[in-house]
Each structure stands twice: as structure tokens, then as C-alpha cells.
Chain A
Amino acid sequence: MNCDKEAVELMHKYLDKDMTTEDQAKLAQHLENCEDCQKHFHELKRTISFIKSAEQIEAPPDFTQKVMASLPTEKKRFKYLRWFKVHPVLTAAAIFFILMFGGIVSAWQQDNKLVVSKQDNLVIKGDTVIVPEGVTVDGDLVVKNGNLIIHGTVDGNVTLINGKLLPGDSTIDGEGLMASVGEVNGKFEKVDEIFEWIWYSIKGLFKSVFAY
């Protein structure tokens, strides 16, 4: 057997555990008779145990922290997408509320005209609605985008949206609307913030839903 070529080739096959029993027998037989190859084989095995004994190199102590600190932050989009996938019912609810609030808000913004509930005996001057003295308004009074002066009596609830209650000629003593010259025989409600408007709309929605 050629030492340099064949025998060394077989040694490496042996080291890679990649040889047939036939080859193994060939190598064993050769090694018995060839001192040079014995030496070579011994050196190879020793080399491997040397490599394996090489010092272990450790990462710097703050390595993990540095890696974690430089990871890209998760894109918010993925976070939301994942959340939506996990909670389909809440997603549907969220979409419903977005559409509903959107509708209410745009109704609030678009509608700047003076709107007064249909009542007799009301006097309208510009954007001011007046309940004249000696007049009794039957039913609920709603004024939107306008001011209200009450001299007379309202037999029902008063709702004032996006407007002010003006004292008129008469004095209103303190906060008591009921005690002013005009009289409201029901609840008085004033809405002039968007959230109040939303609340008012929802109340209206629920009232109409549960009215049946």
C-alpha cells in the first residue's frame, strides 16, 4: 500500500467515521507493518485532541444586553394586526364604534344651521330664539346652534345644543333657571362640547332603541 496516498486517505476516513469494515481491516493491517504510518496516525489523533482542548473564548459580559438593546422595535402595525387576529369580536366592536362616532362627529361639525324644534309662539331673531313673556310652550324644546331667551314658560324639557342661555331683559337670580322670570317645567340640558354631544346622541340612540 502507498503510505502517502492510500494509507493517509484511509486514516482521514477513519477519523470521519466514514469507512467500510473492509477499509478498516486494510488500514489496521498496514499500520501493523508500517512505523511511519503509525506515527502519522498517532499525530493526527493527537492533533484532534489538541484542537478540542483549545481555550474556550467567552463573549463579553454585557453581550446579551447589547444585542437586546439593538433589536429593531416591533412595528406597531404588526402588533395591531396580531391583536386584531386574536380578538375578532373586539375588532368588529371597535369598527362599529369608529363608524358610529365618526357619524356623530361629522353631524356635529357639518350642521351649523339654527335648528329649533317645531313649536308655536316662538320668536326667532337672528340666531336667538325667544320664548316671549306670557307664552307657554307645550312639549319639549330643542334649540341647536342658537341662543335661547326664556321669558315665558316651557311645559317640558329644554335642550340647548351649541348655544347659550341668555338672561334676556330680566335678571336670573343666581344659578336657578327655574327661579328666573321664565319658567321651565322639566329638565334643562345644555350641550356644547363634542363629548357631551356624543353622550347626548348615544342617550338618544338608546332611548329610541328601548322605546319599543
Chain B
Amino acid sequence: MDQMIREKIKQVKKGDQSAFEEIVAFFQNKIYQHCYRMLGNAHEAEDIAQEAFIRAYVNIHSYDEKRKFSTWLFRIATNLTIDRLRKRKPDYYLDAQVKGTDGLNMYSQLAADERLPEEQVQDMELQSWISQEIAKLPAKYRSIIMLRYLEEFSLQEISDILDIPLGTVKTRIHRGREALRKKLRHV
């Protein structure tokens, strides 16, 4: 499959626009899912995922073929989602980080009138409950958890995608896992 993608990229670089279609078809679910989980709604996810592919096409000449294409593509998509999250007005979104706290968001400020996790799980599919819990993580942990366990990138690749030091990736994945463990331990 890598070989096929490499071939197609060469064709796109030569100016064959139609070769890009297969690249989009191959990566669309991964990129869309990533954007959806970062942004939390279908409308913005589609918007940003499309933008990511368009940027990849326009800037295809700056892609270095020695590197992994998926890493490059996820880097574009992740940067776009982070930009979008920054532009949001924090008041409207519960998962925006509260100033002066490290990674605390508005969910953690809400009164705990929720039912116990066990009860919630009974009502809905375990899978979508897990998705919801991932969605509640602060963006900087969420992106890393998703890239590691849903897209199966290595820590080094995640460090490349997010353009942050490997040590930071390790700290954040550690905290992300602990945060999810506390939520999921009772299941």
C-alpha cells in the first residue's frame, strides 16, 4: 500500500490531479476521524478534513518523499484542528481549558450531578461511551492518545506530527492514560 501511495504522489507532483483522488480515498476515514475527534462535531470535521487534503495537494512539492506521507498529512490536519480550536470562543465550549489551570476544562468545573459511570454505560454502547470520554480529554492529551492508539503512530512520529519534543509527548501520553484510567476503571 505504501508503494501505491508513493507512486500516486509522484504522479501528483508531475501534475496529474486525478492521481490525488486515490490518495484522498485511502486516507479520508483516518483524517476525518481524527478531525472529528479533535473538534467534536461533524460539520467542522468535514470542513477541516477537506481543507487538510486541499493544503496537502497545493503544497505537495514541499513533501519530502523520504518521510512517511501519513505523518506529513496528519501534521497538516492536526495543525488545522488546533488552529480551529484556538479560534473558538472559549465561553461556548466546555472542553476549552480554564485559564491558570493545567489541562482543566469546564467539564471539571461542573457540579457532579452526573450519574455514576456504570449507570451511564448501561444506557449506551460501550464504544460510544469510550469515544465520549476521549472527547472530554483536553485537546493536547486527546490528540496524542488518538495518534498513538487509534492511528498507531510511534511516539517519535507523534513528536514529528505535533512538532513537540519527544519528552513532552511521553509526559502527555502518560497523563492522558491516567486521566482515562480514572474514568474507565469502573467499567
Residues of A within 8 A of B (CB): 8-9, 12, 15-16, 18, 40, 43-44, 46-48, 50-60, 63-64, 66-68, 70-72, 74, 78-79, 82
Contacts and interface: CB of A to CB of B under 8 A. Distances in A.
B115 interface: no
B100 interface: no
Contacts, number: 109
Interface residues of B, number: 43
Contact residues of B: prevailing secondary structure: helix
Interface stretch (B18-26, B70-78, B106-114): B18-26
**9 A-B pairs closest in CB distance:** A59-B32, A55-B127, A57-B33, A59-B28, A51-B149, A12-B174, A47-B181, A67-B53, A64-B24
Contacts of B173: 12, 16
A63 B49 contact: yes
Interface in B23-39: 24-25, 28-29, 31-33, 36-37
A48 B177 CA distance: 8
Given A51-B134, A59-B32, A16 B57 contact: no
Interface string B158-187: 000000000000100110011011001101
B17 A57 contact: no
B58 interface: yes
B130 A58 contact: no
Contact residues of A: prevailing secondary structure: helix
A47 B53 CA distance: 32
B54 interface: yes
Contact of A63 (B17, B46, B58, B145): B46
Contacts of A71: 17, 20, 54, 57
